[in-house]
Chain A
Amino acid sequence: MNSLFFKIFVSFWLTLVLFAGSAIWLASNYLDDVRSEHNTSGLHERMASYSQEAREIVNSGNLAALKQWLTQLDHHEPIPILLIDQHGEELLGRPVPARIVRRMARWNHQLEDNDDDHEHRHRHRGRRLVVSPDGTRYWLAPDYQSITLGRVLKRPHVIAIPVLLATLIGGLVCFALARYLTAPLGRLKQATERMASGELSHRVTPGMRGRKDEIADLAEGFDFMAERLEQLVGSHKQLLRDASHELRSPLARLQVALGLTRQRADASLDTELDRIERETERLNELIGQLLSLARLESGGIATNKTEIDLELLLKEITEDASYEARANNKDVKLELSSEGTVTGDEVLLHSAIENIVRNAVRYTAPDTQVEIVLKKDAANSSYRISICDHGPGVPEAMLPHLFEPFVRVAEARDRESGGYGLGLAIAHQAIRLHQGSITASNLPGGGVCMEIALPAENRNER
């Protein structure tokens, strides 16, 4: 009974059967009720008022008005009411059943007998006599036998309430059913999005509140998948961290051994030893980067929060970077269209932005410049720092992957320029720790623009 398949099947099936059954039952009941004698007392009163109205119109002598009145009456009265003249013709031309024709002869006969008592006694039969000023006699008579389901359903006031009720109740039931089915799917969708954004510890089962059906199974499966994914990613990161950690001891020994060799060796080996030393330094730096990335990713960094003047920070970075850039006929230009202060770890933010700027300097073509712009966005809610180079750009498909560790855009070029493929990943994580974001896009004329968004300080909150 907990299966979703069963729930949907049974609810639709039952609804249809119940609806059809109750519709047929109600309709036949209604029809019976209209035809039966139970309803005649109501009809009596209605007939009395109808004949009254008819008499008034007949007295005015307007036949067209009479026809119009009769048409209107036919519209809202479930029982067909005929107005028959003495020739047996119905005023609107509707066929008069033989039964009524026969009875009419008797009514006429009785009328000619001038038997008023009789007339009163036969009141319950419903017929009414309407006499026009010129003496024409009409019989106003209900035609019970001609009530059909079709005719009843065509009267708006009869059908309105059931239709309204069906719409309301059916709507409510369907709304509840649809909600019941889609709400957990919405939660699942949200969970997949959160997983995709890196929140691997998110689980959906707690939000299912004791549901036991296919959706709950799906949620369980999802959680299981998330758990495995978290473990795998966790162990992968742990491995990277441990390996980097363990690599440092041999590296430290290597450096001392190298120092000892230098002390003993003569000058003829200097070139080779310098080379070894340089490579050792690079290895050292790479391990350092790996460790800081691991620390940033775990988010457990004891951030040293201070107020950072973005203007000052960017000026320092620009100064340093342009000094190096000029050596290669490149330049770095800073444009400040806003001042800004953010709260965060200055060292972290400095190295993050510096990494991106250095990267831009590396890739921008000779005789071009790297442009750094600081501005506040329209809503004044964040600072935007864009860093654009005029280099070869990045293949469109690679743009979203630029901030992943060890991504190389073009194998040969990166090796030549000495990139480790970690700088942007570290920058990304550092900016993320400042509740900021970073995106990359290609410039139409070639080159890449990195845009960093950092939330602006809300002075009221502090």
Chain B
Amino acid sequence: MIANRILLADDDVELCEMLAEYLERDGFAVSQAHDGAAALEKARSGNHDLVVLDIMMPKMSGLDVLRELREESLIPVLILTARGDDVDSVVGLELGADDYLAKPSNPRVLVARIRAILRRAENNATQTESSPSGAPLKVEDIELFRGSRKVLRDGKPVPMTSTEFGVLEALLQHAGQVISKAELSVEVLGREMSRYDRSLDMHVSNLRKKLGPRGDGDERIKTVRGVGYLYTINENE
């Protein structure tokens, strides 16, 4: 199996080198970038499976890199935010980051997050090969192709990150039922939900924006306060 290629973008050169060594020992292929501009350039090359992006970088902040990157690529991105700075993580997730991690944290946690994101992306990829013409998951006007990671609304493709894809997949599977946040967290993000983790809210909010309201003007994904989310289906049909 080919090693997953990780792009590590952080301006702390020493930290970057140690982290690269750590990740290589865990079986990843790592390349580094030490400022925002270099990170963007390398991320655009298409030679990586995942980008670990520090928010605070010279020349171009991680958030700017993410914004520009998302205009052309859906490559999985994990952002590193300053500990306790919730604003950055919220903005990052809004811009389409797949997940975030507060810095400093244990490198073990970083590896676990990277693996969870890659697993989502790979799941989709393997399914393509096994069932190239796999029947799409279809709920009303939305068609979700597990294999090709494509989502169509009224036959038109809607681009989304692998995490957003995962969230939508889980929601569609349970369409018409409430799925709890805890369940979603384990199923999609691959970790236990911690209180006030806003990641899921942000991914769902991104999905709402991308998919728009239902044909009858109703909200597509409803928040059930204190419980979870509900993908609504037209019950009259």
Residues of A within 8 A of B (CB): 248-249, 251-257, 259-260, 263, 277, 281, 284, 287-288, 291-292, 295, 302, 304, 312, 316, 346-347, 350
Contact = CB atoms under 8 A, between A and B. Distances in A.
B226 interface: yes
Contact of A291 (B15, B83, B87, B108): B83
Interface of B: 12, 14-15, 18-19, 21-22, 25-26, 82-84, 86-87, 103-108, 195-196, 226
A312 B227 CA distance: 12
Given A277-B106, A287-B83, A291-B82, 19 more contacts: A248-B83, A252-B15, A255-B105, A256-B22, A256-B107, A257-B18, A260-B18, A263-B26, A284-B105, A288-B83, A291-B84, A292-B84, A295-B84, A302-B87, A304-B86, A312-B226, A316-B195, A350-B195, A350-B196
Contact of B107 (A255, A302, A312, A347): A255
B15 A260 contact: no
Nearest to A289: B84
8 contacts: A252-B12, A253-B18, A255-B106, A256-B15, A256-B19, A263-B22, A312-B226, A347-B196
Contacts of B19: 256
Nearest to A351: B196
Given A248-B103, A255-B104, A347 B86 contact: yes
> Looking at B87, B106, B196, B226, which has the most chain A CB atoms within 10 Å of its CB?
B106
A260 B22 contact: yes
Contact of A346 (B21, B26, B105, B196): B196
B108 A259 contact: yes
Contacts of A259: 22, 106-108
A391 B196 CA distance: 31
Contacts of B12: 249, 252-253
A256 B15 CA distance: 7
B82 A248 contact: yes
A209 B104 CA distance: 53
A61 to B, nearest CB: 107
A249 B80 CA distance: 13
A152 to B, nearest CB: 86
B107 A248 contact: no
Nearest to A295: B84
> Looking at B18, B105, B196, which has the most chain A CB atoms within 10 Å of its CB?
B18
B114 to A, nearest CB: 13
A282 to B, nearest CB: 13
Nearest to A252: B104
A253 B14 contact: yes
Nearest to B226: A312
B107 A249 contact: no
A403 B23 CA distance: 43
B104 A284 contact: yes
A308 to B, nearest CB: 11
A284 B22 contact: no
A49 B195 CA distance: 104
| 7 cross-chain pairs, A with B, having the tightest CB-CB distances, nearest first | A252-B104, A259-B107, A256-B18, A347-B196, A251-B104, A288-B83, A288-B84
Contacts of A277: 106
A303 to B, nearest CB: 10
Contacts of A257: 18
Given A259-B106, A312-B226, A253 B15 contact: yes
A260 B226 contact: no
A257 B12 CA distance: 14
Contacts of B26: 263
> Looking at B82, B83, B195, which has the most chain A CB atoms within 10 Å of its CB?
B83
Contacts of A312: 226
A300 to B, nearest CB: 11
A287 B108 CA distance: 20
A312 to B, nearest CB: 7
Nearest to B11: A249
A277 B109 CA distance: 13
A346 B195 CA distance: 11
Contacts of A253: 12, 14-15, 18
Contacts of B86: 304, 347
> Looking at A259, A263, A281, A346, which has the most chain B CB atoms within 10 Å of its CB?
A259
Contacts of A291: 82-84
Contact of A284 (B82, B83, B108): B83
